[in-house]
Amino acid sequence: MSGLWLGSWLRVLDPRLFIDLLLAFGLGVVVLGRVREPRTLWLLRGYLLLVALAWGVQRFANLPLTTKLVDALVLACSLALAILWQGELRRFMELLGTGRLGVLVGSRTSDAFNSGSVAVLSVAAGRLSQARRGALIVVDHGSDLRPEDFLNPGIELDAQLSVDLLLNLFTADTPLHDGAVLVKGSRILAAGVILPLSRQGINRYGTRHLAALGLTERFHRCLAIVVSEETGTLSLACQGRLERPITSSRLHDLLSEALARPAGRSVAKDTPDSRG
């Protein structure tokens, strides 16, 4: 009897078990640390708790029926989360495939937005809106976008962010005005960028709005400022959602709020628009 008791304790004290628990705990901390949206965090915590429960029942309890039921529940929840988070999972696989592990674990580049950058973007967007000049400005605040993330990376600029330069880039009948401008920190990295389009709202939005939605669906640390060419309506896309119509002062507030947080949200207040 004492031999069985000692054997069970030796199995519990197996060094591989502690290594397994340590690695699992570290992975859980990394995953939870990447989530900022409260409801998503609750779902992920519940799922991880369910996985831990399934592991505990399978390892320490001789309960075949309960083990089967818990495993089936974990599988069902995994499929549901895969559907809900298909964009995040796709981004995760892209980061693994390209070896960009620094973005995956949350490292940041030194480029940072400040109140001056927000003011320049707000003023330029307001003037473009008043002139009814179509525009699409992508603001990268932590996604570390690369040329392969776009359908066409456009023309590399690496120029100082300014109102006049943004207005010139979106002047009608110029080669770059139909594409997007990529902004990071206080620099304009590229112009004439062609973005992937979203499949949502195809009948409601123009090309610029679909491009803004498509990029922010895939990269949650990106914002996209859109100016409608037909109506001059000003919009802000964040995490695959649009807030519109907004004023330049409202845009300033939204940019300041979103850029102050690693993963800001926006409220979908959209109305149909015939052109982007």
Cα 209 → chain centroid: 17
Contact 155, 188 (CB under 8 A): no
| Phi, psi torsion values for 235, nearest 5 degrees | -135, 160
Looking at the domain assignment, is residue 272 inside a domain? no
* Same domain? 145 vs 237: yes
* Same domain? 151 vs 246: yes
pTM: 0.65
Tokens of 248: 């330049």
Let me know if 114 is exposed, middle or buried by CB neighbors in 10 A (0-12, 13-18, 19+): exposed
Instruction: Convert the pLDDT of each residue in 205-245 to its tens digit.
Output: 888 999 999 898 888 788 999 999 889 999 999 888 899 89
* Same domain? 140 vs 174: yes
Which pLDDT value is given to residue 109?
45
Q: How far apart are CA 239 and CA 50, in angstroms?
A: 27
Instruction: Convert the pLDDT of each residue in 96-153 to its tens digit.
Output: 676 665 655 554 444 456 778 899 999 999 999 999 999 999 998 877 788 878 889 9
Looking at the domain assignment, is residue 267 inside a domain? no
* Same domain? 131 vs 228: yes
DSSP state of 269: B
Report how many domains make up the chain. 2
Q: Show the domain range for 13.
A: 2-104
